[in-house]
Amino acid sequence: MRMRKKPWADKEFEINTHLVTSPEENKGKWNEFFGNDNPVHIEIGCGKGRFLSTLAAQNPNINYIGIERQTQIIVLAMRKAREHDLKNLCFVNVDVKDLENYFAPSEISRIYINFCDPWPNKKKWAKKRLTHRNFLSIYERLFAESGDIHFKTDNKELFEFSLNEFSALADNGWRMSNISLDLHNSSFEGNIMTEYEEKFFNIGMPIYRLEAKYK
């Protein structure tokens, strides 16, 4: 569903310094951008920004970058970061398929993928899933030596698909852990809910989660 333009959005884009308008210029130099050598973690499809804003506030020694292609959504995330004065958080308004234009190998050490579009279970659509092996190969090149993915979804079919994709690439160096079929009724600690997750948690839907380590 297309979101209506917020009446304050244009002003937010003018004053907010958390949006990186030319991310390609920072490829290989994100630590210079943040002014430190802290690890860089990204969230693909950061939505309204609650998840990353919470992480950034809790972990000042980690740099976070939110990836979101929808302008009317990313502006909400930008405002949260500005209001909480989070120096270790920024956003880029780009498409995930172009990540290699903005990040150099080994520059990212963790990727969060939360509640991405599940897409229909048809061959032509499956390739659009962010855990499809085509995307996993992009993440491999970005990690280069090592990295991990934290993945959450409310869609059972997508979760099963993702388990199969990671398993199929075990020879490439992928290993899964902390697999949960009902996150909120598990022993996992430290979960941060997205806005979307809270909505489905409140109506009793199970949340699926896994971690996948590369090499």
Q: How far apart are CA 35 and CA 85, in angstroms?
A: 16
DSSP designation for 19: B
Q: What are phi and psi of 2, to 5 degrees?
A: -80, 130
Looking at 10, 37, 95, 117, which residue is catalytic?
117
Coil/strand/helix, residue 91: strand
Is 117 labeled as catalytic in the residue annotation? yes
Tokens of 192: 């941060």
Q: Quick one: which H or E segment has residue 195? A: helix 195-201
DSSP secondary structure, 144-158, as one string: TT-EEEEEEES-HHH
H or E element, residue 73: helix 71-83
The enclosing H or E element of 133 equals helix 133-143
Q: Could you list the active site residues?
A: 117
